[in-house]
């Protein structure tokens, strides 16, 4: 279950440059020029959703690094979790049985609308739950990534057949060393291309919600963005 570490956040500085559009049937934040959806990176957000400025700033940054559109769809019905006392209520409305079909419908609708050549996705925290299914043999992604994933069992990695980048804090209590080892074993057994990057002293949620006044956290965030940009760019 989502816990207090998922709710802790620091607001990041900067001005966003994207716009809001309806894509795949969902209100979406879109970073990047308006010329083409031929190569797209989709963000599957954490509990703060597509209007969270920190997420939008990361989308802007990765779009600038790759030259690709970055799309952040509203997979949680514009209903971010901000009150821990309402956690069970929120999860009842947005758990995998409800949000999973929304994610699948988005990718189907987006694909039919724009027929992109390459579709990538990054799942952040809660959003990472949906990456394994999207990276199945018949999934819509060319490659995918997870940043500080949560709520996983190792069996989820059995589904993955397409390349994946996993980024996490070395001491992340939501993605433990035991779970990381089990995930790697699954990926190796299935001969799936993968990368796993661990960052010292980076807490759960560091890329989206980390404290940028902490040098190691800031480094982890910036290096993870560079890793994600380089990983996806290698497929185009």
Q: Among 8-12, 21-25, 66-70, 231-235, where is mean pLDDT lowest? A: 8-12
Q: How does the average pLDDT of the chain come out, rounded?
A: 92
The pLDDT of residue 11: 65
* 4-233 fold: Rossmann fold (3.40.50)
pLDDT category at 106 given cuts 50, 70, 90 is very high
**pLDDT tens by residue, 32-44:** 987 789 999 999 9
The pLDDT of residue 8: 65
pTM of the model: 0.94
Query: Rounded to whole angstroms, how far apart are CA atoms 107 and 125?
Result: 19
Query: Rounded to whole angstroms, how far apart are CA atoms 14 and 109?
Result: 32
Residue 131, class by beta-carbon neighbours within 10 Å (0-12 exposed, 13-18 middle, 19+ buried)?
A: buried
| Closest-CA residue to 234 (of 198, 206, 193) | 193
Integer CA distances (angstroms), 71 to 109, 121, 122, 157, in order: 13, 9, 10, 24
């Amino acid at each position: 279950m989502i816990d207090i570490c998922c709710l802790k956040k620091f607001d990041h500085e900067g001005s966003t440059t994207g716009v809001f559009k309806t894509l795949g049937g969902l209100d979406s934040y879109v970073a990047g020029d308006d010329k083409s959806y031929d190569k797209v990176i989709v963000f599957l957000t954490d509990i703060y959703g597509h209007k969270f400025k920190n997420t939008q700033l990361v989308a802007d940054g990765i779009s600038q690094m790759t030259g690709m559109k970055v799309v952040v769809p509203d997979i949680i019905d514009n209903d971010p979790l901000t009150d821990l006392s309402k956690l069970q209520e929120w999860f009842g409305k947005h758990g995998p049985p409800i949000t999973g079909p929304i994610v699948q419908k988005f990718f189907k609708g987006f694909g039919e609308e724009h027929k992109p050549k390459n579709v990538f996705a990054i799942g952040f925290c809660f959003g990472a739950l949906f990456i394994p299914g999207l990276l199945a043999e018949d999934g819509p992604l060319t490659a995918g990534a997870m940043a500080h994933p949560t709520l996983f069992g190792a069996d989820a990695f059995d589904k993955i057949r397409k390349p994946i980048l996993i980024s996490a804090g070395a001491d992340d209590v939501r993605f433990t060393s035991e779970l990381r080892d089990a995930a790697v074993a699954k990926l190796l057994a299935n001969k799936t291309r993968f990368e796993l990057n661990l960052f010292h002293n980076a807490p759960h949620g560091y890329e989206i919600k980390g404290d940028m006044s902490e040098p190691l956290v800031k480094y982890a965030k910036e290096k993870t963005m560079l890793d994600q940009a380089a990983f996806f760019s290698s497929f185009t």
